[in-house]
Amino acid sequence: MKLPLKMPLKTPDHGIVNSGAQHRTRFGNVLICLMNCGFTIFVCVIFIGCFPPSKEAHIKQVRQRITKAGGESEILKESRVLFPRCAKREWAEPGVGLKDSSLYGLPGIQSLGDVFFYKWGKIRIRVHNSHRDIYFIYLLDPDQPQPAGFERYFERIAGNVGFLSPGWSEGTEDKP
């Protein structure tokens, strides 16, 4: 089926005007659609951004949360309450939310993230800012010594809170 080279144009009073400037072909319609889509994607990339924040931005965010929670000493105090609670129960992946009974009365630790998972003297905390910006920090038991060589895998942010590098494996540490 061939499309006419000139298409009638309806005016607001519904009269039909034949305009040579208003003719479109299928190729022209596709081209205009691609230009509109490309412009939309360009605007989204400009306003939203392509990349999640850097590790330095995450460190700054965690330090701000620790400060707002009362500082390193408050996180350490709450850790000494939390770890005995965690050791008494079985934990399933991916972890528990903020309303879990183990976290009751520990607002400083609750402010660090939204999902918590305990395993062998460490608590993995998920920090979920957006669907593109999710990262994990670790809370270490302040009363338990860490295995030899563990410090090279743990990047301390403040007190007993930090990042665990991908080179560290759960199976490589000494288990109690």
pLDDT given at position 34: 59
- Rounded to an integer, what distance in angstroms lies between the CA atom of residue 105 and that of residue 99? 10
Tens digits of residue pLDDT in 91-122: 777 778 878 888 889 999 899 988 889 888 88
Structure tokens at 37: 């889509």
Assess whether pLDDT exceeds 50 at residue 72: yes
CA-to-CA dists, residue 52 to 35, 58, 127, 131, 161, angstroms: 27, 10, 13, 10, 21
Domain ranges of the chain: 8-48, 55-172
**pTM of this structure:** 0.64
Tens digits of residue pLDDT in 116-172: 898 888 888 999 888 888 888 899 888 888 777 778 888 888 888 888 877 665 554
Q: CA 57: distance to chain centroid?
A: 12
